Amino acid sequence: QLQLVESGGGLVQPGGSLRLSCAASGRAFYYNNMGWFRQAPGKEREGISCISRSGSITNYADSVKGRFTISRDNAKNTVYLQMNSLKPEDTAVYYCAAETTYYNGGYCRRGAEHMNYWGKGTLVTVSS
C-alpha cells in the first residue's frame, strides 16, 4: 500500500510558475514509476507527465511539453512537478499517481489504466 499526498496548488497568474509536490509513504517509493495527471472542469483526466524509478526517463503530454518538468527525490520519497509559463487552460485538479514495477529498465507511461495508487488531488487555478 502506498499513500500519496499532493501539495502546492493554488492561484497563480498567467505566465507564472508553481511547483507541486507529492509525498509518498513507505519504503516502496523507489519501486514505482510516478506520474502527474490533471482534470479540468468538463474535461477528461489527462496524463501529463511521468518519470521512471531512477528519474532517468521522463515523458510529457504535448499540452505541457516545454513548460512543465517532472522530477523526483527518492531520498525524500517525493515527486515534483515544476510548472512554468502557466496558461488559463492549465486550470485543473492535479493528481499524483504511482505505477509499481519490479524492473529497472528505465521507462514510464502516462496511461491512467497502469496506475496502482492515486493521491486525492490539489487544485491549480491560473487566472488574472
Chain-centroid distance, C-alpha 60: 10
Mean pLDDT, residues 100-117 taken together: 90
| Angle, CA of 54, 58 and 63, to the nearest 5° | 155
Q: Is the pLDDT of residue 103 over 90?
A: no
Provide φ and ψ at 41, rounded to 5°: -55, 130
pLDDT bucket at 106, cuts 50 / 70 / 90: confident
pLDDT at 110: 96
In a 3-state reduction of DSSP, which class is residue 94? strand
Mean pLDDT, residues 8-19 taken together: 98
pLDDT at 28: 83
Q: How many residues does the chain have?
A: 128
